[in-house]
C-alpha cells in the first residue's frame, strides 16, 4: 500500500506578490496610448478620404507619432440632422456628422492594437485576422465609454450628434449598439484604467481565431 506523505504547503503573501511597478507601467502605457488615440479622435485627423486597406494600416508607421500635425477641434460645426422616416432613405455622411466616426474609430483601434507588445510579435496573417474580428468590437466599446464620460446614456459622437436619432424608429440592433453598451458602463462606473484594460483584453479574447 502506498505510503502517504504529508506535504506542508504554505502560501505566504510573498509568494503571491506581484511586481506593482511592472503592472503599473503596463497600465500607464495603455492609458498613455489611449490618450493619444482620443486626441486624434477629437482633432482634425480624418481618415475618411484614405485609400489604405487594413493591410496598409498595419504596415504603415504609427499615426500616434504624428500628433503634432493635427489640431484639437473645440467647436464642431455640425448639428443633429433631422431623423429619417425609415432606413431606406439615404443621407450623405458629410451632411450628417463632422467625420465618418465608425471609420475614424476603426483606424484608431488599429493604431492602438499596434502599440500592444503581444500584437507586435504576431505573424502578419494573425495580426490581420485578429483585427478583422476585433477592431469593430472595440469601436463599440470606445464610443460607449466616451459617451458615458460625457454623461450621455446613449452613444454620442464628439461632434455632439446622437446616431440613435438618425431614424425615427431605430432597429433593435441599433438600440443594442447605441444604448445598451453605455448603460452597462454607467452601471459598472468604469474608470479609465479599467477601460483601457478591458480594451486590451478584447484584443486578446479572440486568440481562438489565430493560427
% of the chain surpassing 90 pLDDT: 58
What are the backbone dihedrals phi and psi of residue 72, each rounded to the nearest 5 degrees, phi first? -70, 130
pLDDT of amino acid 165: 85
pLDDT of amino acid 174: 85
- Whole-prediction pTM: 0.81
Half-sphere exposure of 8 (CA within 13 A, CB side): 0
Asked whether the predicted pLDDT for residue 96 surpasses 80, the reply is no
Asked whether the predicted pLDDT for residue 79 surpasses 80, the reply is no
- Confidence bin at 52 (pLDDT 50/70/90): confident
pLDDT of amino acid 168: 81
Asked whether the predicted pLDDT for residue 14 surpasses 50, the reply is no
Using only C-alpha atoms, the chain has a radius of gyration, in whole angstroms, of: 21
Contact 139, 106 (CB under 8 A): yes
Contact 131, 58 (CB under 8 A): yes
Give domain 21-204's CATH architecture.
Answer: Orthogonal Bundle (1.10)
Say how far apart CA 58 and CA 37 lie, in whole Å. 16
Query: Which one is predicted more confidently, 43 or 8?
Result: 43
Say how far apart CA 187 and CA 173 lie, in whole Å. 20
Asked whether the predicted pLDDT for residue 88 surpasses 80, the reply is no
What are the backbone dihedrals phi and psi of residue 65, each rounded to the nearest 5 degrees, phi first? -90, 0
| Length of the chain in terms of residues written | 211
Half-sphere exposure of 151 (CA within 13 A, CB side): 0
Average pLDDT of the segment spanning 13-24: 60
Amino acid at each position: 500500500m502506498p505510503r502517504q506523505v504529508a506535504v506542508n504547503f504554505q502560501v505566504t503573501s510573498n509568494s503571491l506578490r506581484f511586481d506593482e511597478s511592472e503592472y503599473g507601467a503596463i497600465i500607464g502605457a495603455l492609458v498613455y496610448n489611449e490618450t493619444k488615440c482620443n486626441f486624434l479622435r477629437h482633432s482634425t485627423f480624418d481618415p475618411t478620404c484614405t485609400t489604405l486597406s487594413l493591410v496598409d494600416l498595419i504596415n504603415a508607421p504609427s499615426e500616434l507619432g504624428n500628433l503634432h500635425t493635427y489640431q484639437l477641434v473645440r467647436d464642431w460645426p455640425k448639428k443633429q440632422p433631422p431623423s429619417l422616416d425609415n432606413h431606406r432613405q439615404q443621407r450623405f455622411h458629410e451632411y450628417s456628422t463632422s467625420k465618418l466616426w465608425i471609420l475614424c474609430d476603426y483606424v484608431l483601434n488599429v493604431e492602438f492594437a499596434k502599440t500592444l507588445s503581444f500584437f507586435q510579435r504576431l505573424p502578419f496573417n494573425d495580426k490581420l485576422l485578429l483585427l478583422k474580428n476585433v477592431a469593430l468590437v472595440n469601436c463599440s466599446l470606445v464610443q460607449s465609454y466616451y459617451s458615458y464620460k460625457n454623461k450621455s446614456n446613449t452613444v454620442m459622437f464628439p461632434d455632439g450628434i446622437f446616431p440613435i436619432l438618425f431614424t425615427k424608429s431605430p432597429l433593435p440592433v441599433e438600440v443594442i449598439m447605441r444604448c445598451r453598451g453605455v448603460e452597462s458602463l454607467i452601471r459598472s462606473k468604469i474608470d479609465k484604467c479599467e477601460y483601457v484594460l478591458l480594451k486590451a483584453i478584447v484584443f486578446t479574447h479572440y486568440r481562438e481565431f489565430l493560427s
